[in-house]
Structure 1
């Protein structure tokens, strides 16, 4: 039995701001429990709901030195689905209404968290063979393991993996401040370690000092070695390419399955979707005040409304798309300009555009179930989960070929009768437009081909079991067995 500790800043069901939380909540459950004892450690944020805080058991507490300050570290735990979740308690660092706030303050908070995680291991009596770190918030764990924790026998031989969920976020501030809050010597602030131009960089430290680096799709692992996607770290990613691996995220099919989903109007599966899926479309059209029409092509968008997600492309041709025989449903929040753009088109084309500028888990499931196609033209997308959900619900994705979108959506080939969606290569509004119109043509003129594609899409397996096998292989390789 090998011990694995996940270190992360968020995790479903306790606290979530993005896809990172889904991964940290789902992957440990999917790893073989006979082979791995996987545990997870998180900050105990004040904003975790009392439903969970009330269930936490006190384990122990101690005081820890962090440079010039001495801080309280409390450890609590919950066992859920056979996995032990530990929580690091410190009200000074983890109070507040949200898990993240001002970056300067977050840097100090996660330096404290990273050191507290390592300090807590002997206290909780768990010595991991592998510490699996996620994103910049845990980037200092491999660095501290190489630094002040190097001397103790307890820590000898612990291996580390750094998983990058989105290279855009790195935890960067000036060297003097980071030295001061992290308590690291000048030795660590050279160009081949934590120094990044004139700044200190947490994620860079994690990448340099971890044994293996992973990211959340094969294509993204290749893309981040290039200047366009590398966010200033492409040289380092190329240098580490022998120990850089891409593993696509999965989704939790207990939550996302049209056969069992309690949030949708009408359940259906791969055998009966031709008759049953349409009932979800009718219900959504009615709920959102769209024109009731079974035959019209309904396109869904569930997303953060930001440049990264390709909304500048949509902005460019939205009027043209609205001239076509389609309806568009949008759910999400983000940049004000895109929120207002969708509000404008909702006002202009009331029968065919519905802008829902908020977030609702229930409505997102209903959109996946009701729509015919799902639009996701991202500039970059490390993995992406929405396209995996839409495949499962038989809602064909229209995506740009980048990162995980390229790895998971097979473009339709009308000559070979293959594919699970539609894709375009260049970041260009008219190329996107042409792809949407190609999808419309198949939807309206070749309905049998469309339904065969839905069959193939719903048959795809992007469950966590597949991804967990690949992580298990990586753990074996790292531990040499």
Structure 2
């Protein structure tokens, strides 16, 4: 009997093409030791496999394939190496003489045999996953918030673990192409958009083992990362452009970040395992459903959307194989009405697929032992330079230079999510009590004005900079004694991790990622690394500040021990990347089943 084995992508991988077009590789079953490619003769072969029904999948409310009728299928021969989610079917020329049960048994036995063979051309090494990242911003190219730090650092950590990572980001007008080494030209594709086709360029560079691909088109690249009136259309087209690139350069995992890349998940559909990461559930990208059709998505409304509305984040949550967020604490909080932002019901449906992994920081960049922006370098073993950093910061801000005066730092957006209302309420008491404040940030104009008035009232005690200055931020982390983050909610937070790295003790509200990373020293004297409070009110925050200031002023031994403990903690991306890799493998395994 001339049995043959056909390697075929999952049924939805290429759409509704004839089965002959889906066949990629023919192997003789009598010679499994070596994989030999041979042209598939569709006239003599029949494939019998159906997709397993996904009962109760909330993603069924979303669009099926997420592609318009004008989609151009790439030729199968383009895939030089089959993706890891390939399916192998056992097919006999004499199928009609064999019972269905026997066929299934043969196929199952063959699949087990092939898994044991580990044929190099068919089965990639365990860690060699091909991961495609998509994000609106990524450091050092474009940075507005914490998303840029994650998208700029996590891919590198994954590459060090053996992953093949491609990062897709828009080529914003703010990106310095010459400084970043971005070539003037790159690969081009014709991307369908409504009834037209748009030429999109994809210039790319290699950075620390990661291929960074910039999506270049006037529909995407603007002079600012966020804030354009057509941001919804803009990022929908970005997703469509990334999806087109992935069709040509297959991935095993597609990892989309926040609402800006959310529509990539339904566009990919079931072709590739997908991860969607929520960095801040408060920003969902709600817009008109009219943005869907031009990028090949249907307008079918999901349960949380109002008539005529599109909620990109909700659609990704419903569709992704795994939904992740940036801390275990926040992963639990978003299942509740208090933090769910109206999506808690949908997230409850996906509860079994929701994961939380704490962000890391770039410990080579944030390193007081080598930081070129601070007055003196120091380390966990030799912290003498920190006193010089404090004196230099006091001098720079026009504050009285005094080692015994506590200096409290604040870096971030001056908005209520970050607890600016609590900070504004307690600031006069802190300043009247002899403390010094260093504040760097911008945000709500009303709060900015209130802080200007505080500076006029306390010019020798308050160092205020409205805006952002990366080098000054480093000097604040190094020169302060305490770092304040009284957030109303905080998915992860990076400020507290950086402050710990610099030996500046955090005072935080025990919420989200802050609760996962800061342990109150009064509750856990042996392992504590900061001070925290739970109730979101002025009294609770003032109480935590009073405990921290008392420890600073009265217990030098405790303070030195606390500072050393903080600096010895490991908040690098390595541990987080290993957790992401485990999550990728789980998503990939589920996708294949």
- TM-score, scaled to structure 2: 0.75
Q: CA RMSD in A?
A: 1.8
TM-superposed deviation, 1:469: 0.8
Structure 2 residue 488 is the aligned partner of structure 1 residue 379: yes
Aligned pair partner of 2:155 in 28, 35, 51: 28
Deviations 1:222-269 (A, max 9, x none): 110111111110111111110100000000011101111111000011
Query: Which residue of structure 2 lines up, in the alignment, with residue 245 of structure 1?
Result: 355
Query: Which residue of structure 2 lines up, in the alignment, with residue 345 of structure 1?
Result: 454
Q: In the aligned structure 2, how far is the partner of 1:95 from the partner of 1:6? A: 18
Structure 2 residue 411 is the aligned partner of structure 1 residue 298: no
Q: In the aligned structure 1, how far is the partner of 2:180 from the partner of 2:564? A: 43
Q: Is the 8 A contact 1:108 1:181 kept in 2?
A: no
Structure 2 residue 189 is the aligned partner of structure 1 residue 189: no
Aligned pair partner of 2:253 in 130, 135, 157: 130
Q: For the structure 1 residues 34 and 380, does the alpha-carbon distance in structure 2 shift closer, same or farther, using more than 3 Å as the test? A: closer
Structure 2 residue 347 is the aligned partner of structure 1 residue 234: no
Q: Is the 8 A contact 2:182 2:203 kept in 1?
A: no
Query: Which residue of structure 2 lines up, in the alignment, with residue 425 of structure 1?
Result: 534
Structure 2 residue 445 is the aligned partner of structure 1 residue 336: yes
Deviations 1:132-180 (A, max 9, x none): 100111111111122xxx7xxxxx4x100000111111111133x2344
TM-superposed deviation, 1:73: 1.4
Q: For the structure 1 residues 59 and 392, does the alpha-carbon distance in structure 2 shift closer, same or farther, using more than 3 Å as the test? A: same
Q: In the aligned structure 1, how far is the partner of 2:191 from the partner of 2:436? A: 58
Aligned pair partner of 2:235 in 83, 101, 110: 110
Deviations 1:8-61 (A, max 9, x none): 111111111111111011011111546311111111222211324653263421
Query: Which residue of structure 2 lines up, in the alignment, with residue 78 of structure 1?
Result: 205
Query: Which residue of structure 1 lines up, in the alignment, with residue 370 of structure 2?
Result: 260
Q: In the aligned structure 1, how far is the partner of 2:524 from the partner of 2:364? A: 36
| Structure 2 unpaired stretches of 5+ | 1-127
| Structure 1 unpaired stretches of 5+ | 151-155
Q: In the aligned structure 1, how far is the partner of 2:208 from the partner of 2:176? A: 19
Deviations 1:70-119 (A, max 9, x none): 2111121111112111111212x13431122334x111111111111111
Q: Is the 8 A contact 1:216 1:404 kept in 2?
A: yes
SS state at 1:47 partner: coil
Query: Which residue of structure 2 lines up, in the alignment, with residue 167 of structure 1?
Result: 281
Q: In the aligned structure 2, how far is the partner of 1:28 from the partner of 1:292? A: 42
Q: In the aligned structure 1, how far is the partner of 2:160 from the partner of 2:542? A: 47
Q: Is the 8 A contact 2:220 2:238 kept in 1?
A: no
Q: Is the 8 A contact 1:12 1:25 kept in 2?
A: yes
Structure 2 residue 129 is the aligned partner of structure 1 residue 2: yes
SS state at 1:5 partner: strand
Q: Is the 8 A contact 2:159 2:209 kept in 1?
A: no
- TM-score, scaled to structure 1: 0.93
Q: Is the 8 A contact 2:552 2:559 kept in 1?
A: yes
SS state at 1:380 partner: coil
Aligned pair partner of 2:220 in 94, 98, 114: 94
Q: Is the 8 A contact 2:499 2:505 kept in 1?
A: yes
Deviations 1:394-414 (A, max 9, x none): 000000011111100010127
Q: In the aligned structure 1, how far is the partner of 2:391 from the partner of 2:307? A: 55
Aligned pair partner of 1:476 in 556, 566, 585: 585
Q: In the aligned structure 1, how far is the partner of 2:425 from the partner of 2:137? A: 35
Aligned pair partner of 1:42 in 169, 188, 211: 169
Aligned residue pairs, count? 463
SS state at 1:423 partner: strand
Q: In the aligned structure 2, how far is the partner of 1:277 from the partner of 1:7? A: 39
1:255-404 map, 5 Å: 255-273=365-383, 275-404=384-513
Q: In the aligned structure 1, how far is the partner of 2:442 from the partner of 2:497? A: 21
Q: For the structure 1 residues 5 and 268, does the alpha-carbon distance in structure 2 shift closer, same or farther, using more than 3 Å as the test? A: same
Query: Which residue of structure 1 lines up, in the alignment, with residue 93 of structure 2?
Result: none
Aligned pair partner of 1:121 in 242, 246, 252: 246
Deviations 1:406-454 (A, max 9, x none): 1000101278444100000000011101111111111111111111111
Query: Which residue of structure 2 lines up, in the alignment, with residue 153 of structure 1?
Result: none
SS state at 1:31 partner: helix
Structure 2 residue 138 is the aligned partner of structure 1 residue 11: yes
Structure 2 residue 328 is the aligned partner of structure 1 residue 218: yes
Q: In the aligned structure 1, how far is the partner of 2:268 from the partner of 2:360? A: 30
Q: In the aligned structure 1, how far is the partner of 2:567 from the partner of 2:260? A: 36
Q: Is the 8 A contact 1:132 1:160 kept in 2?
A: yes
Larger Rg over CA atoms: 2
Q: In the aligned structure 2, how far is the partner of 1:435 from the partner of 1:336? A: 28
Structure 2 residue 250 is the aligned partner of structure 1 residue 140: no
Higher helix proportion: 1
